[in-house]
Chains A and B, each alone.
Chain A
């Protein structure tokens, strides 16, 4: 056999062996005793590292939980089952709240809302917001450049062909990233049992809102009258839903709304 080959195998193997022994020793010597609960909780957390809790990632959050520096409720993503298990590990009581999902309060997509200008700047909603709000004429609704899509760590929000974000209610964890990303405040978190929404944020005078968008709320009061004020209330030129009344059942004056801005989202059997 070639001696050069032999020497190199021997020397490389020797060095490898030496270092592995050193690492093994260091592992023993520098071992940090970690609370085993951190590992357990870490596994139960969603591990999406979305940052919604305010910590750098799920592992950090787990550490903070065990150290008593954080509250489990600040993670909106963890499901109820996992929550209970974590609460048992920590030995605390945790209120298992209802799952929250993001809801987009605008239907003014391309072709529906009037255009006010051609926008050529930085292609993000937050940048368009500071120079007059981009190309859509409505100053309350969706800008359509998809900051919320980029912000979502769970791939649960997408642009439809009209450039209005659509939330995948099954995937949405309610982390609220899209809510903060939206410069207009068009996205809100709502319990999954809420199905009826007025999909408009325009508080302008009805004359103005009618001129900018086909699906704008015109504050016409038809919905409020249809339910005798039970569940719908028009405040500041905009109808608002009282979810205490309209939560569980899906009966409602959607078809009466002249601009079709009252919409049923999701189904009663989802959870």
Chain B
């Protein structure tokens, strides 16, 4: 049987065996946490606590700052040392709440939960998701209550759970599917109720057949939920590729999955929704894969948001001596770090530690027009042209060629024999175009 998939894409080495058999371990509570007031796409949160105040785990410390926004909670019980700018994993300094552990750990559950979620209304559930601070845990961190609340006029007929985890190295979603299949199932049923859809697919890459079997077993009595094994190919886990593979629907350029009647949620997000709605647990911790050839004990760790990378790496046996590069997220789309003081945020799906063996600098040569990037681009763009136009500042041509449709998956840069940093150049072009658009709008 040939497995479903999308056109183009690449096949990076997987490196998943480092951590895929390691059960999720709960990390002991850190002695201090740094919680950024912006961990999601959209408006930053406004702090509602003060320096010196005592907070309990789960207490709200940042309130939603707009429609597309989320809620931030204290993730340990203790005293707020300061609210100041600290380095963030995305390479900027942002305001963070620094909490020192003090007193006995105590979790404040969410208030006003329905007795049984089956009887709760759609609005009630969306409100719980907002109050629980749930955002897309796959890496993009888009506020979930917004995604589950499609604008009027868009009819949604399918919900897809994203269990692809197509990034090399990462195994957090894989472990969650194996160990938390019941919660995942509850999450799916809650979302199906909110979206009022009749069918759900769980897309899983075929390198995780044990997860496919586990979930098939778990969903046996639910005929509307189908587990779909997919071909192992990067970026299978990108929303648009996943919809293409499972439903053969194509999200229009500049459009969203909503436009083809689909909502996609990551496995971790779905489980977080189940925990919030049934047990009142806000999003204070997440599963992070700590892996790579430069970490002594690769693990899947359940860790509190705000724990510094240093503390988390120490829990995993520390770095080896030849560690050269630390990446937040997977190696294809992740962000290299310059400091280990940065905290785990809601979007931290993994920490990949690479030795100098994998991080040697390769000289950048001029483009030889080989077209490898063109045959790799899952969005059917011309990466080499886009990067060139962005480089010389011809933003009009770049936009005409669809630069804004780039999903920054990194496939083009991965196959480029000249080692041209295509994605960085394209990203810069996208930012410049968006900035110009904002400016021309404000005038």
Q: A117-B336, A132-B335, A205-B84 are in contact. Are A127 and B424 (CB under 8 A)?
A: yes
A170 to B84, CA, bound (A): 42
Q: Which of B84, B338, B428 contacts A126 (CB 8 A)?
A: B428
A116 to B93, CA, bound (A): 14
A76 to B335, CA, bound (A): 41
- Asked if B90 contacts A127 (CB within 8 A), the reply is no
A131 to B424, CA, bound (A): 8
Query: B431: CB under 8 A from chain A?
Result: yes
- Asked if B424 contacts A130 (CB within 8 A), the reply is yes
Query: B443: CB under 8 A from chain A?
Result: no
Contacts of B335 in A (CB 8 A): 131-132
A108 vs chain B, min Cβ distance (A): 16
- Asked if B93 contacts A130 (CB within 8 A), the reply is no
- Asked if A139 contacts B92 (CB within 8 A), the reply is yes
A115 vs chain B, min Cβ distance (A): 9
A205 to B95, CA, bound (A): 13
Q: A132-B90, A139-B93, A204-B93 are in contact. Are A122 and B425 (CB under 8 A)?
A: yes
A139 to B338, CA, bound (A): 12
Query: A161: CB under 8 A from chain B?
Result: no
Query: B250: CB under 8 A from chain A?
Result: no
Contacts of A137 in B (CB 8 A): 338
A110 to B257, CA, bound (A): 47
A177 to B428, CA, bound (A): 19
User: In the complex, which residues 319-349 of chain B have their Cβ closer than 8 Å to any Cβ of chain A?
Assistant: 335-336, 338-339
User: In the complex, which residues 54-74 of chain A have their Cβ closer than 8 Å to any Cβ of chain B?
Assistant: none
Contact with B along A15-41 (1 / 0, CB 8 A): 000000000000000000000000000
Query: A133: CB under 8 A from chain B?
Result: yes
Contacts of B391 in A (CB 8 A): 122
A185 to B174, CA, bound (A): 44
Contacts of B90 in A (CB 8 A): 132
A137 to B91, CA, bound (A): 10
Query: A121: CB under 8 A from chain B?
Result: yes
Contacts of B431 in A (CB 8 A): 130
A110 to B335, CA, bound (A): 24
Contact with A along B85-124 (1 / 0, CB 8 A): 1000011110000000000000000000000000000000
A117 to B324, CA, bound (A): 10
Contacts of A121 in B (CB 8 A): 421, 424
Contacts of B91 in A (CB 8 A): 131-133
A130 to B425, CA, bound (A): 10
A117 to B91, CA, bound (A): 11
- Asked if B92 contacts A122 (CB within 8 A), the reply is no
B88 vs chain A, min Cβ distance (A): 10
Known interface pairs A127-B428, A132-B91; 11 further A-B residue pairs with C-beta atoms within 8 A, sorted by A's residue number? A116-B339, A117-B336, A121-B421, A122-B391, A122-B424, A127-B425, A131-B91, A131-B335, A132-B336, A132-B338, A204-B93
B-to-A contact residues, CB < 8 Å: 84-85, 90-93, 335-336, 338-339, 361, 391, 421, 424-425, 427-428, 431-432
In the A-B complex, the 8 residue pairs with the closest CB atoms: A132-B91, A116-B338, A117-B338, A121-B421, A121-B424, A127-B428, A122-B424, A122-B421
A-to-B contact residues, CB < 8 Å: 116-118, 120-122, 126-127, 130-133, 137, 139, 204-205
Mind listing 24 A-B residue pairs with CB under 8 Å? A116-B339, A117-B336, A121-B421, A122-B391, A122-B421, A122-B425, A122-B428, A126-B428, A126-B432, A127-B421, A127-B425, A130-B427, A130-B428, A130-B431, A131-B335, A131-B336, A131-B424, A132-B91, A132-B92, A132-B335, A132-B336, A132-B338, A204-B85, A204-B93
